[in-house]
Amino acid sequence: MEKWSLMTITVLLALTVRWAVSLGSYSGAGKPPMYGDYEAQRHWQEITYNLPIRQWYFNTSDNDLLYWGLDYPPLTAYHSFVCAYIAKLINPDWVALHTSRGYESQPHKLFMRTTVFVADLLVYIPAVILYCFSLKETSAKKKVSSALCILLYPGLILIDHGHFQYNSVSLGLALWAVLCLSHDWDLLGSVAFCLALNYKQMELYHSLPFFCYLLGKCFKKGLKGKGLVLLAKLAGTVLVSFAACWLPFGTDVEQIMQVLRRLFPIDRGLFEDKVANIWCSLSVLIKIKNVISPRTQLKLSFAVTFLSLLPACIKLTVQPSLRGLKFALVSCALSFFLFSFQVHEKSILLVSVPVCLIINEIPFMATWFLLVSTFSLLPLLLKDELLLPYAVTTPAFLAVCLASFSILEKTSAEDLQLKAFSLSLKGYVSWFKSFPRIVRSLFLLSLALMGVLSVLSAAAAPPQRLPDLFPLAVAVVSCLHFLLFLVYFNVVILWDSKNRGQKKIS
Amino acid sequence: HCLLVMLTSTSQWLGIARSPGIMHADFEVHRNWLAITHNLPLSQWYFEATSEWTLDYPPFFAWFEYVLSHIAKYFDPQMLVVENLNYTSRATVFFQRFSVIFTDTLFIYAVHECCRCINGKRAAKDILEKPTFILAVLLLWNFGLLIVDHIHFQYNGFLFGLMLLSVARLCQKRYLEGALLFAVLLHFKHIYVYVAPAYGIYLLRSYCFTANNADGSLKWRSFSFLHVTLLGLIVCLVSALSLGPFLVLGQLPQVISRLFPFKRGLCHAYWAPNFWALYNAMDKALTILGLKCNFLDGTKIPKASMTGGLVQEFQHTVLPSVTPLATLICTFIAILPSVFCLWFKPQGPRGFLQCLVLCALSSFMFGWHVHEKAILLAILPLSLLSIQRAKDAGIYLILATTGHFSLFPLLFTTPELPIKILLMLLFTVYSFSSLKSLFRREKLLLNWLETIYLIQLVPLEIFCEIIFPLTSWKQQFPFVPLLLTSVYCALGITYAWLKLYVSVLTERVPVRQKAE
């Protein structure tokens, strides 16, 4: 069958799944007084439509920052403004100042879901399709299956169309950036990434790899001639994009400082809720929050984060390659997720989307990671009553990946890109003979563990003394998996040999 | 094949993911039947009338609901109280939807069996191009079935599973099993009596007369009394099991009146796209024309709206009114040629399938109070034929697309709009591209007229769903979108029916019988 009809079917399937999940519950449904992210987005539409720009980020009588104050950069605010404009045309009650707090109704839910759907359709999905079509040295069928797997990734669908957020916009823009860089359109790529950054500040997790890659490219071109020109052009592009986004705020330093303060709430603690990162997991053993002061916590987390991502970034600057960029995106974002400050469990999506990009190179590990990342979102999904969509989409995703890539057969050292690494460990050659089987059994074990924990979290009641047992168990298990993945990805990056031209590249 | 199972399970579970959605009337119907069969003794089943949704399926289905109700009580006992009209709860919804998904496993098995016995064209290397794969997807992901079963809520998957399984058994020459399955099916849902003639004639011709002459005509001497007795025994046994208790209780007339409610009107509230829809439309058009030209007296015309409410009796104004007997006669005349064809020119299972589809379609065209869901009775068996010959594939595309489009009014709420459009597009794109690639060496499947007709469905849909509700006509003529959809689809379905008939009647029988 032709490529285009297959791709159309894939997209239609993806859209159907998204809309089906939309019919379910959303974050904070029917839970006054604070509700959830859905109400936050609605509130931002109310704020941006009714108040002048200068008041958006400030605590005024009209704008109570404690009730879902705006804490994303300006592009989110502009997007909310556009949505509010359309909302006003349909039903002004939805965005009336003050009186529309906690507004919930079927038509309104339909409207909000449609905004997410449209944003996804316009930004994220085209990026994925074009990316898959531009994959080199893969058959048409493989391209379509990659697209199918990426588009069916449950985590993004459940968070965006279930819990209710607009991650697909920022992630889509980052994807466009990678796409542009893969065609050597550096300036366009930088613009796309700046837009992504100005949509959600969490994209900073991805900023270092982009920076190192472009810097490395400039170095390669020679710092005296073309490299310097490129560097200047890139710097200029970045500045111009930022200026364009922040234009309405003018040169008022106070405004900009307030926005920054809202974007980076340093006075909050090291972590909130149960999130699958190191600090939360360590707190099971030692109560870090009580041991170290907040300032030291900040410094410690920054130090560990940067230490863990340094090797990959240095390698990328020295040897800029697209493959290196993609892997570096994964490992940097994962380092940030594991060790950084005030991380939300939803930030795992920032790691998952780059992993989706390499799904056709290491299908087995990518599928495994994506399953774990979806699993780590389980406590959040349970809170939002999204258990059913989770229970449906995750096995479906596994089934699709199994069918498209026959991942269980691709567990050898070569398939996992560990050939070079294993060659360096000449002493352990005998251990590597049964490597595929060990890996496969580990995978099945991990799946079983995740399945059991999912069922327990959903069905069983936790013991009285440990009310947070299940969320914590999910977080710790996910964290352990993520640590192993971090090691794995770093190994792959660092042992990536220069002469890949002879071997098969994807 | 495990791939296929995975595919279907995803589709089934997608259905469950949609389940927090919207309630439809059929949901309450089945809840009521669960309650009735659980609480009341057998003698009351067909007399119970607390709810407007009385039991109008044959006894086997009632027993099926009875079995289900015993499992239901573990989910939510409240749903089994007869007085709890329109009762819904999370557990109820979950249980009902899950029961549909669970019973669909029979459908999956039946599709598997069908794929095994249907030999498509040359085997392709790519699994996506294998005829069996295409057939499996066309059946398992059939848009109509998905919509009707999982969203609108019915148990058709499992019933069609029975039918497809009986077809598969007949194709595999396991005649007795096929007959048994069909008899059982009849007592589950009597709508399948539409295709009973095909079964009867085929079994008579190919099973009771065990051999043919050299030129393919009937060898009267080869009549086998044994086979006839066996068949008769099966049918009687099954009927006895099902209707026996009611016969003993003397309730047979009541059961029959419930099963065949002729008091309902010629057409459902939304006209099924059959011949009578065109007839009604013609009547209305002539009425308007007559009024304008003053041939008719405006005061004498009843104001009955044909699309209001559940069921309506109405009289035609210009053309003669239609009685149930008339529809029966029309249906009988319509199926006669195909039955004769099956008798005189038997071509084995393929001929049987053709006759089956034609019987189903003809009954759809001329039946009394036909529901638009009945089009699935024709579409699903036609899928089996579509992967074998290009001509059938073309007819299938027309029939499936218009038939599915005519199911759109079943889902009328706004949240369901994207779902039905996306699923319809999914199925249509897939069926077109897969059948086109399967028959790419032959000429085009559809000619330009047919293509234009199908493309016109898009503007029609846009008009009905988007433009019309925003105009002022919505209050005055609320039935216009339904009327347009119904009439337009009726044209397509009639065309497909005629084309199929022509192709069956003009088919030249090969001198040597080929085993198909």
Q: A51-60, B336-345, B390-399, B506-515: which has the minimum mean pLDDT?
A: B506-515
pLDDT of residue A374: 93
Highest-confidence segment of A112-121, B58-67, B309-318, B364-373: A112-121
Q: Which of B21, B419, B426 sits opposite A9 (nearest CB)?
A: B426
Chain-chain contact of B17 with A20 (C-beta, under 8 angstroms)? yes
Q: Does A8 touch chain B (CB under 8 A)?
A: yes
For residue A155, the model assigns a pLDDT of 92
pLDDT of residue A451: 92
Q: Which residues of chain A have a CB within 8 Å of the CB of B18?
A: 20, 23
- Which of B351, B357, B355 shows the shortest CA–CA distance to B379? B357
**Least confident range of A250-259, A448-457, B121-130:** B121-130
**Three-state secondary structure call for residue B487:** helix
Q: How many residues does chain A have?
A: 506
Checking if the pLDDT of A176 tops 90, the result is yes
Q: How many other CB atoms sit within 10 Å of the CB of residue A122?
A: 13
Is residue B435 within 8 Å of B387, Cβ to Cβ? yes
| Res A506 pLDDT > 50 | no
- Give the residue with greater pLDDT, A500 vs A298: A298
CB contact under 8 A, B433 and A23: no
Residues forming beta bridges with residue B311, ordered by sequence position: B268
**Distance in angstroms (rounded) separating the CA atoms of residues A264 and A449:** 36
B19 pLDDT band, cuts 50/70/90, is low
State whether B17 and A24 contact (CB < 8 Å).
Answer: yes
Residues 6+ apart with CB under 8 A from A258: A57, A58
B164, B165, B166, B171: CA torsion to nearest 10? 90
Query: Residue B462 pLDDT > 80, yes or no?
Result: yes
| A350-380: pLDDT as tens digits | 999 999 999 888 888 999 999 999 999 998 8
Per cent of chain B over pLDDT 90 is: 6
Q: Among A138-152, A417-431, B269-283, B324-338, whose mean pLDDT is lowest?
A: A417-431
Q: d(Cα B279, Cα B368) in Å, to the nearest integer?
A: 13
A chain contacts of residue B128, beta-carbon cutoff 8 Å = 1, 6, 141
For the ranges A172-181, A188-197, B5-14, the lowest mean pLDDT is seen at: B5-14
**Of B10, B21, B429, which has the smallest distance from its Cβ to A23's Cβ?**
B21
The whole-chain average pLDDT of chain A stands at 84
Please state, in angstroms and as integers, the Cα–Cα distance from residue A219 to each residue in A214, A317, A420, following that order: 9, 8, 26
To the nearest whole Å, the CA of B470 is away from the closest chain A CA by 13
pLDDT of residue B515: 42
pLDDT score, position A288: 65
Higher local confidence (pLDDT), B286 or A420: B286
Residue A25: its chain B contacts at CB < 8 A?
20
Contact B426 A12 (CB under 8 A): yes
Contact A400/B429, CB-based, under 8 Å? no
CA dihedral A390, A126, B12, A115 (to 10 degrees): 60
pLDDT in the model for residue B14: 63
Cβ distance B6 to A403 less than 8 Å, yes or no, reads yes
Asked if the C-beta of A387 comes within 8 angstroms of chain B's C-beta atoms, the answer is no
Residue of A nearest to B436 (CA): A1
pLDDT at A499: 41
Q: Report whether pLDDT(B310) > 60.
A: no
What token pair was written down for A31?
A: 């839970």
* pLDDT computed for residue B341 by the predictor: 81
Question: Closest residue of A to B13, CA-based?
Answer: A392
In the predicted structure, residue A473 carries a pLDDT above the cut 80 = yes
Report how far residue A371's alpha carbon sits from residue A390's, in angstroms, rounded to the nearest whole number.
11
Pairwise pLDDT comparison (B476 vs A376), residue with the higher score: A376
Report d(CA A406, CA A254) in Å as an integer.
56
Give the minimum alpha-carbon distance from A183 to chain B in angstroms, rounded to a whole number. 31
Nearest CA in chain A to B10: A396
ipTM given for this complex: 0.85
Mean pLDDT of chain B, nearest integer = 79
Are the C-beta atoms of residues B35 and B164 closer than 8 Å to each other?
Answer: no
A52 phi, psi to nearest 5 deg = -70, 160
Residue B127 has pLDDT above 70, yes or no: no
Among B10, B128, B422, beta carbon nearest to A396? B10
Using a pLDDT cut of 90, give the percent of chain A over it: 26
Q: What is the mean pLDDT of residues B337-353?
A: 81
Residue B360 scores a pLDDT above 70: yes
Across A396-410, A426-440, B401-415, B419-433, least confident range: A426-440
pLDDT band at A171 (very low <50, low <70, confident <90, very high): very high
Least confident of A15-19, B22-26, B122-126, B346-350: B122-126
Q: Do B17 and A110 count as a contact with CB atoms less than 8 A apart? A: no
The pLDDT score that the predictor gives to residue B372 is 83
For residues B287-311, one letter each, b for 16 or more C-beta atoms within 10 angstroms of the residue's C-beta and e for the rest, the string is: beebeeeeebeeeeeeeeebbeeee
Task: Tell me the residues of chain A between 388 and 407 that have a Cβ less than 8 Å away from chain B.
Answer: 388-389, 392-393, 395-396, 399-400, 402-403
A48 or B297, which is more confident: A48
Given a cut of 70, whether residue B314 has pLDDT beyond it is no
> Over pLDDT 70: what percentage of chain B?
81
Angle between helical axes of B156-171 and B348-366 (0-180°, round to 10): 150
A485: nearest Cα among A324, A327, A375, A300: A327
pTM metric for this prediction: 0.87
- Verify whether the Cβ–Cβ distance B415 to A388 is below 8 Å: no
For residue A454, the surrounding DSSP H or E stretch is helix A435-459
Query: Touching check for A36 and chain B: CB below 8 Å?
Result: no
Whether residue A115 has pLDDT greater than 60: yes
CA distance A317 to chain B (A): 43
